Amino acid sequence: MNTDGLAVAVRGLRRSYGDRVAVDGVDLQVRTGEVVALLGPNGAGKTTTVEILEGYRRRDAGQVRVLGADPATAGAAWRARLGIVLQSTGEFDDLTVAEVVGHFAGLYPRAQDPAEVVARVGLADSGRRRTRTLSGGQKRRLDVALGIVGRPELLFLDEPTTGFDPQARREFWELIRGLAGAGTTILLTTHYLDEAEALADRVAVIAAGRIVEVAAPADLGGRRDAPAVVAWRDPAEGARRRETHTPAALVAELAAAYGGEVPGLTVSRPSLEDTYLRMIGATA
Q: Residue 157 falls within a domain, yes or no?
A: no
Q: What is the pLDDT of residue 78?
A: 95
Q: Residue 150 falls within a domain, yes or no?
A: no
Sheet with 20-31: list strands edge to edge.
20-31, 6-17, 61-66
Q: How confident is the model at residue 283 (pLDDT cuts 50, 70, 90)?
A: low
Q: Residue 90 falls within a domain, yes or no?
A: no
Is beta strand 6-17 parallel, antiparallel or unpaired with respect to 61-66?
Answer: antiparallel
The C-alpha atoms of residue 175 and residue 119 are separated, in whole angstroms, by 11
Q: Residue 264 falls within a domain, yes or no?
A: yes
Q: Residue 118 falls within a domain, yes or no?
A: no
Burial call 244-257: b when 16+ CB within 10 Å, e when fewer: eeebeebbeebeee
Q: Residue 242 falls within a domain, yes or no?
A: yes
What range defines the domain where residue 238 resides?
A: 222-282
Q: How confident is the model at residue 201 (pLDDT cuts 50, 70, 90)?
A: very high
Q: Which amino acid, one-letter code, is at 153?
A: E
Lowest mean pLDDT among 13-17, 140-144, 188-192, 247-251: 140-144
Q: How confident is the model at residue 284 (pLDDT cuts 50, 70, 90)?
A: low
Closest Cα partner for 66 from 32, 100, 40, 34? 32
Is beta strand 185-189 parallel, antiparallel or unpaired with respect to 35-39?
Answer: parallel
Count, residues in the chain: 284
How many structural domains does the chain have?
A: 1
Q: Residue 233 falls within a domain, yes or no?
A: yes
In this structure, the number of other CB atoms found within 10 A of the CB of residue 264 comes to 12
Q: What is the pLDDT of residue 166?
A: 85
Contact 203, 36 (CB under 8 A): yes
- Bridge partners, residue 26, by sequence: 13
HEC readout, the chain: CCCCCEEEEEEEEEEEECCEEEEEEEEEEEECCCEEEEECCCCCCHHHHHHHHHCCCCCCEEEEEECCECCCCCCHHHHCCEEEECCCCCCCCCCEHHHHHHHHHCCCCCCCCHHHHHHHCCCHHHCCCEHHHCCHHHHHHHHHHHHHCCCCCEEEEECCCCCCCHHHHHHHHHHHHHHHHCCCEEEEECCCHHHHHHHCCEEEEEECCEEEEEECCCCHHHHHHCCEEEEEEECCCEEEEEEECCHHHHHHHHHHHCCCCCCCCEEECCCHHHHHHHHHHHCC
Q: Residue 230 falls within a domain, yes or no?
A: yes
Q: Does residue 144 carry a pLDDT above 90?
A: no
98: left (phi over 0), alpha (psi -120 to 50) or beta: alpha
The mean of the pLDDT values for the chain is 91
Q: Does residue 92 carry a pLDDT above 90?
A: no
